[in-house]
Amino acid sequence: MILLIAKKEVKELLRNNRFRLVSITLLILLVFSMFISWNTHTKVQLEHQAAQDLARAQWESQGKKSAHAAGHYGTFAFKPIPVLSLIDNGLNKYLGVSVFLEAHRQNSASYKQITDQNDLARFADLSPAFVFIYLMPLLIILLGFNSFTTEKESGTLQLILSQGASKRKLVLGKTLGIWFALLLLLVPVFLLGFCFIAFSDYENGDLLRYALIIISLLIYYGVFIHLSIATSVWAKSSNFSLIILLSFWMISALLMPKLTADISKNTHKTPSAIAYQENIKNDLENGINGHDPTSEKAIAFKDSLLKAYQVKTIDSLPVSYSQLLMQEGEKHETTVYKNAMTRLNNVYLEQLKVHQLNAFISPTILIRMLSMEFAKSDLQSHYNFTYQAEEYRGALISSLNSGPRGAVDSDFFKENIKFEYQSITLAQTMKESASNLLYLILWWLLSGMLVMLSVQKNKLK
């Protein structure tokens, strides 16, 4: 009986011109956005690789100069473009793609894609994630808002119930019918996304990450299916049901993300650029300066070296005092910059927690965060890159300061360590996203319970 009801529901939906028009439109948008995203991803990835190779070639082909001077000349670290960004580019275009690495100074990621776009382009960013997360629920609402109200308005509900179909079987049948109709649209698109990823330069775990994105989306769609069914059971008319569901969609998808962003910025305020640099300056002054041997801390460092090696003058030291002084100063600067970065990143992470706390009101926030986390286009993945870039900067400058005295040639620079980015692991992602996934499942369970409750409390007449 349940499958018979589901089959009837699917046939009616496929005959509905409104459903066919919206489904075809969304299918075109999804396929088009995937091709555009894949083309953009391929192009940007090639550009990044070319820029990275050029930066390394320039570093290795430096003429004769002192190793420390080369540290001031600097080089670049480039953030790899995750293959799943073709599904959800997340925050990538807001966070920058490369970091300039130089001695005595920490730089933030630069070359943000968003700076090259005008205001209109920021709102016209069509991506598969946008269609999946924001537009697909509208199709679900279209499928389910009148699933019961139409039966009640036409007087066929009692006829169906009189044929031996219980209220529970009727609800399950209509729910399955909506799922079947939805999957007819989604399965080909999911398979297309799988093909794009499989033919790209993906990393270990990316296919599993893509599967987790799909599972999260299906749970998310289940929430809207449950809410659509429950509202249709409870509502007296199709128009009223549609208004309620569209209102929920606008609150979940449009209002709450903006509201929680404003709340997070007010509860955890980020320091201004001037205040941030002023704090760094004060912290630097509290430590040793590798370029000022006359400072109080530099003199104390010299005395400790003389005492350790039991000599009376710098010239009697078996090591290079200037190199050790510069290295000690660089170590202090690295610690200051790392602490400043950690403090700033912690503020952003606290803001992110505010989004999670408000996710009980908006499943859209949850799926948005999960999608970015699994696609490695979230804030945590970016911090993983910036921390590794800073660690590499410290290691590179340290090797330069401890290098030969005087001028060195290109052979020395060729032997310098290369920046090898280690992508955030799936285990790390699961640790960060476990609570979001749990909350989304809770939304699915509660919305399912709402369906059952609406059926029990409503006489379906």
CB atoms within 10 A of CB 247: 11
- Residue 385 pLDDT greater than 60, yes or no: yes
Predicted confidence at residue 121, as pLDDT, reads: 45
Give residue-wise pLDDT tens across range 253-279: 988 888 888 888 888 887 777 887 788
Measured CA to CA, the distance from residue 370 to residue 378 in angstroms comes to 9
Report the residue count for the chain.
461
Of 39-48, 49-58, 307-316, the range with the highest mean pLDDT is 49-58
Least confident of 236-240, 346-350, 352-356, 367-371: 352-356
* Span of 7-21, 31-45, 205-219 with lowest mean pLDDT: 7-21
Q: What are phi and psi of 30, to 5 degrees?
A: -65, -50
pLDDT, tens digit, 9 for 90 and up, residues 290-332:
777 778 888 888 888 888 888 878 877 777 777 778 777 777 8
% of the chain surpassing 90 pLDDT = 28
Q: In sequence order, which residues have a C-beta less than 8 Å from that of residue 386 and are 6 or more positions away?
A: 99, 108, 109, 341, 345
Q: Give me the pLDDT at residue 215, please.
A: 97
Which pLDDT belongs to residue 447?
94
For the chain, what are the domain ranges? 2-277+329-457
> Rounded distance, CA 325 to CA 289, Å?
8
pLDDT higher than 50, residue 142? yes
For residue 427, the model assigns a pLDDT of 92
Q: Is the pLDDT of residue 117 over 60?
A: no
Report which of residues 113 and 62 the model is more confident about: 62
> pLDDT-derived band of residue 120, with 50, 70 and 90 as boundaries?
very low
CA distance 50 to 245: 49
pLDDT band at 118 (very low <50, low <70, confident <90, very high): very low
pLDDT at 459 over 80: no
| Alpha-helix residue ranges (DSSP H) falling in 114-205 | 119-123, 128-130, 136-144, 149-154, 157-162, 167-198
Residue 158's pLDDT band, with cuts at 50, 70 and 90, is low
Contact 74, 100 (CB under 8 A): yes
Mean per-residue pLDDT for 233-240? 88
pLDDT digits (tens, 9 = 90+) for 54-77: 999 999 888 888 887 888 888 998
pLDDT tens digits, 160-209: 666 666 777 888 888 999 999 999 999 999 999 999 998 888 888 899 99
Q: Is the dihedral of CA 448, 449, 451, 452 positive or negative?
A: positive
Determine what percent of the chain is predicted with pLDDT higher than 70. Answer: 92
Q: How confident is the model at residue 129 (pLDDT cuts 50, 70, 90)?
A: very high
408-436: per-residue pLDDT in tens?
888 888 888 889 899 999 999 999 899 89
Share the mean pLDDT of the chain.
84
| pLDDT tens digit sequence for 160-171 | 666 666 777 888
- Tokens standing for residue 20: 């066919």
Nearest to 382 by CA among 396, 372, 391: 372
Q: How far, CA to CA in Å, does 72 sit from each of 21, 306, 399?
A: 60, 29, 13
How many other CB atoms are found less than 10 A from the CB of residue 457? 9
pLDDT at residue 134 is higher than 50: yes
